[in-house]
Amino acid sequence: MIILEKFIAGNLVKCQTGYAFFMPNLINSSWIWEDQIMNKLLEKAALKLGELNSFSKLVPNIDLFIQLHVTKEAVVSSSIEGTQTQMDEALLDEDEISPERKNDWVEVSNYIKALNQAITELEELPISSRLIKKTHQILLDSARGKNKQPGAFRTSQNSSPVSWK
């Protein structure tokens, strides 16, 4: 059993090269918690899931509802990488996007395609290296990073060495 309040997510492991990586601890165990606030939070979460489930029964086209949320996730997540596409633009066809905004639109569009493809693939495949690589390839297709080994795991470090104090 893992006590939630004492759980450590993992550790930084330093390599001889001067780089470091995060090694997560296993989480597939039974969990217990001492702080009763967790029970209240779980009750709130269960209530919200119930509300969402009830709402989904009222929506005439649940697939459209889900696709809008996928699109919103793509827009928000892509903005972390610096894309400027907004929700209204993400819903447009490519030929409706101005040339100066097209690169950002392609990145958001790829994100949507990659996420939808991964969801479809999960019906047949487990979460696996093959699924991750295939999703990555779709994500980088004709976008920023298209020359950075789409569909392959990185073989080199992507930042400068960690300085240890």
134 & 74 share domain? yes
Tell me, yes or no, whether 159 lies in a domain.
no
Can you tell me the distance from the alpha carbon of 37 to that of 77, in angstroms, rounded to the nearest whole number? 30
Which amino acid, residue 129? S
Q: Which residues of the chain have pLDDT under 50?
A: 164-165
pLDDT of 155 reads: 79
pLDDT of 45 reads: 97
Q: Is 14 helix (H, G, I), strand (E, B) or coil?
A: strand
Q: How many CB atoms lie within 10 A of CB 57?
A: 7
75 & 123 share domain? yes
Tell me, yes or no, whether 10 lies in a domain.
yes
Tell me, yes or no, whether 161 lies in a domain.
no
Can you tell me the distance from the alpha carbon of 25 to that of 105, in angstroms, rounded to the nearest whole number? 37
pLDDT of 92 reads: 93
Tell me, yes or no, whether 160 lies in a domain.
no
DSSP code, position 13: E
Number of domains comprising the chain: 2
Of the three residues 20, 42, 58, the one that is the final residue of a domain is 58
Can you tell me the distance from the alpha carbon of 84 to that of 107, in angstroms, rounded to the nearest whole number? 10
20 & 86 share domain? no
DSSP code, position 5: G
Where would I find the H helices in the chain? 37-58, 62-80, 87-90, 102-121, 129-140
pTM: 0.67
131 & 81 share domain? yes
pLDDT of 165 reads: 46
31 & 88 share domain? no
Tell me, yes or no, whether 158 lies in a domain.
no
76 & 138 share domain? yes
65 & 139 share domain? yes
39 & 78 share domain? no
pLDDT of 138 reads: 94
149 & 83 share domain? yes
Of the three residues 9, 25, 58, the one that is the final residue of a domain is 58
Can you tell me the distance from the alpha carbon of 77 to that of 63, in angstroms, rounded to the nearest whole number? 21
Angle value at C-alpha 11, between 9 and 12, nearest 5 degrees: 135
pLDDT of 62 reads: 83
For residue 31, how far is the Cα from the chain centroid?
25
Of the three residues 20, 38, 58, the one that is the final residue of a domain is 58
70 & 144 share domain? yes
Tell me, yes or no, whether 165 lies in a domain.
no
Domain that holds residue 83: 60-153
